[in-house]
């Protein structure tokens, strides 16, 4: 099911240029809801559909669903409220949302601060999505991951289906169920994320960027797609819905790539390499070089290439933020700018991501806020 829904964004040629960035951070999926309109369209038909194409198909489908849902939304909400009225206790729901907020604050401090820039309703919705994503991630990557079987993931998916139908299992599921009833969020990105977890149980190496792109889509691109309905597209936006989703996807991918690049050393210590093997080979590097953890000139060149690709994804994402709902632009811009700065920090560390953690200081973080605010004020511009 997940396989079918992957649509590739760009043709292979463009993709390789764009995809030179890629660290993987399995344990830190991007929970940022950035919506960027990325116009990576104009795909050249490829005989073998690459990951980018398949992911783009998903994006198109999401956009189509949104248009469809706009018509059906009123009806659905009524139906859902009938079903859930007996199931939800409002105090419990509020408590559930608060708990989601606490979890978010605990595990993703900067992201939490970013959510404080949103409207209260959106904030709660984003927290609920974050907590579900994080719980799913912890199933396979958390401290108790050794007890997880593929069957457990199947059950988790069944729970997801149930909560989308208004039958949540526990209180945190109830928060997401409520969110899903209020905003036109589609189930497919969630299912794709579970599929990504299944993949992660099996894989620890990625042969080429195509595979890595798929992985990044599963763990981070899906988050972008999940959050577009929550953030909302500006009514006056002339951009197509697909392009907004594309940008969101690009932002998710960019975040994941940044994460991967930042955590090369940490992942290597766990025996995982989230860099494409063929690109490593092209620069004369191998897994052993990564495990050894020494910064050589070859490594620097490789990293430069990867960072360039991540920046290209960020640029694609930047095109879409102005198309969002005005209230949502500031937090999205803020997180985009902050995450971009991590790439700068990696460069400042002389590309030593083995031992040093690329860290953006508090001062810099705070300084980005007014810049983000300024950019958020600029609304939707002419869009090609």
Partner 1 sequence: MNLGLNDRHLRQSTTVGVSVFSLLIGFEACSGKNRGQIQTQGVEMKRLMKSGTELSPSTIVDGGFQRCHRRTRRFDLFESRMVSLSRVLAVSYTVKPSIPCKTCYLSSRFVQKSKLNSKWRSMATEPDSSSFAPSIDSDYSADKITAGFCIIEGPETVQDFANMELQEIQDNIRSRRSKIFLQMEEVRRLRIQQRIKSAELGILKEEQENELPNFPSFIPFLPPLTSANLKVYYATCYSLIAGIILFGGLIAPTLELKLGLGGTSYADFISSMHLPMQLSEVDPIVASFSGGAVGVISALMVVEINNVKQQEHKRCKYCLGTGYLACARCSNTGSLVLIEPVSTVHGRDLPLSTPKTERCSNCSGSGKVMCPTCLCTGMAMASEHDPRIDPFD
Footprint on this chain of partner 1 (rule: CB under 8 A): 86-89, 92, 95-96, 99, 102-103, 106-107, 131, 135, 138-139, 142-144, 146-153, 155-156, 158-159, 162, 167-174, 177, 201
Query: To the nearest whole angstrom, how small is the minimum distance from the Cβ of residue 114 to partner 1?
Result: 19
Q: Which is nearer to partner 1, 151 or 382 (CB)?
A: 151
Q: Which is nearer to partner 1, 83 or 364 (CB)?
A: 83
CA pair distance 180, 31, nearest whole angstrom: 17
In 3D space, the residue among 198, 233, 195 whose CA is nearest the CA of residue 62 turns out to be: 233
Q: Which is nearer to partner 1, 154 or 278 (CB)?
A: 154
DSSP 3-state assignment of 276?
strand
Q: Provide the strand spans (E) within 1-126.
A: 7-8
Give whole-number Cα distances, 356 to 129, 272, 328, 349, 352, in Å.
31, 18, 33, 7, 6
Query: To the nearest whole angstrom, how small is the minimum distance from the Cβ of residue 88 to partner 1?
Result: 7
Which residue(s) pair with 55 in the sheet?
A: 7
Residue 183 near residue 125, CB atoms below 8 Å: yes
Q: How far is CA 124 from the centre of its chain?
A: 18
Q: Which is nearer to partner 1, 42 or 86 (CB)?
A: 86
Look up residue 44 and give its two tokens.
């050249």
Query: To the nearest whole angstrom, how small is the minimum distance from the Cβ of residue 117 to partner 1?
Result: 23
Q: Which is nearer to partner 1, 198 or 300 (CB)?
A: 198
CA pair distance 113, 85, nearest whole angstrom: 32
Query: To the nearest whole angstrom, how small is the minimum distance from the Cβ of residue 244 to partner 1?
Result: 32
260-299 burial, b at 16+ Cβ within 10 Å, e below that, comes to bbbbbbbbbeeebbbbbbebbeebebeeebbeeeebeeeb
In 3D space, the residue among 336, 320, 314 whose CA is nearest the CA of residue 379 turns out to be: 320
Query: To the nearest whole angstrom, how small is the minimum distance from the Cβ of residue 347 to partner 1?
Result: 31
Residue 9 near residue 53, CB atoms below 8 Å: yes
CA pair distance 108, 103, nearest whole angstrom: 8
Q: Which is nearer to partner 1, 138 or 287 (CB)?
A: 138
Query: To the nearest whole angstrom, how small is the minimum distance from the Cβ of residue 81 to partner 1?
Result: 15
Q: Which is nearer to partner 1, 17 or 92 (CB)?
A: 92
Query: To the nearest whole angstrom, how small is the minimum distance from the Cβ of residue 355 to partner 1?
Result: 18
Query: To the nearest whole angstrom, how small is the minimum distance from the Cβ of residue 175 to partner 1?
Result: 9
Residue 242 near residue 249, CB atoms below 8 Å: no
Give whole-number Cα distances, 346 to 54, 140, 303, in Å.
31, 28, 9
Q: How far is CA 148 from the centre of its chain?
A: 23
CA pair distance 360, 237, nearest whole angstrom: 33
Query: To the nearest whole angstrom, how small is the minimum distance from the Cβ of residue 272 to partner 1?
Result: 15
Q: Which is nearer to partner 1, 107 or 373 (CB)?
A: 107
Q: Which is nearer to partner 1, 93 or 334 (CB)?
A: 93
């Amino acid at each position: 099911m997940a396989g079918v829904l992957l649509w590739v964004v760009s043709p292979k040629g463009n993709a390789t240029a764009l995809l030179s960035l890629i660290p993987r951070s399995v344990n830190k999926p991007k929970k940022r809801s950035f919506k960027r309109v990325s116009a990576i369209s104009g795909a050249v038909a490829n005989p073998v559909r690459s990951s980018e194409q398949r992911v783009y198909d998903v994006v198109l489908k999401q956009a189509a669903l949104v248009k469809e849902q706009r018509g059906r939304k009123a009806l659905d909400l009524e139906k859902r409220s009938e079903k859930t009225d007996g199931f939800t206790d409002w105090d419990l729901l509020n408590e559930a949302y608060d708990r989601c907020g606490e979890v978010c604050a605990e595990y993703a401090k900067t992201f939490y601060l970013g959510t404080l820039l949103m409207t209260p309703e959106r904030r709660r919705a984003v927290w609920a999505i974050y907590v579900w994503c994080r719980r799913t991630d912890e199933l396979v990557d958390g401290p108790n991951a050794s007890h997880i079987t593929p069957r457990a993931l199947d059950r988790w998916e069944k729970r997801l289906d149930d909560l989308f139908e208004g039958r949540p299992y526990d209180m945190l599921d109830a928060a997401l169920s409520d969110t899903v009833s209020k905003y036109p969020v589609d189930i497919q990105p969630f299912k794709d994320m579970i599929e990504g977890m299944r993949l992660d149980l099996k894989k620890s190496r990625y042969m080429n960027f195509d595979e890595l792109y798929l992985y990044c889509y599963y763990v981070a691109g899906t988050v972008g797609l999940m959050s577009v309905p929550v953030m909302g597209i500006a009514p006056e936006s002339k951009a197509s819905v697909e392009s907004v989703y594309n940008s969101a996807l690009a932002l998710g991918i960019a975040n994941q790539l940044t994460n991967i690049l930042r955590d090369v050393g940490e992942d290597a210590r766990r025996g995982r390499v989230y860099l494409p093997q063929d690109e490593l080979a092209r620069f004369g590097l191998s897994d052993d070089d990564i495990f050894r953890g020494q910064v050589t000139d070859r490594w620097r060149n490789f990293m430069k290439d990867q960072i360039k690709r991540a920046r290209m994804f960020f640029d694609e994402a930047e095109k879409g933020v102005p198309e969002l709902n005005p209230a949502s632009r500031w937090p999205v811009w803020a997180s985009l700018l902050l995450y971009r700065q991590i790439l700068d920090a990696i460069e400042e560390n002389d590309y030593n991501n083995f031992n040093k953690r690329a860290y953006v200081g508090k001062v810099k973080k705070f300084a980005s806020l007014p810049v983000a605010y300024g950019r958020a004020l600029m609304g939707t511009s002419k869009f090609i």
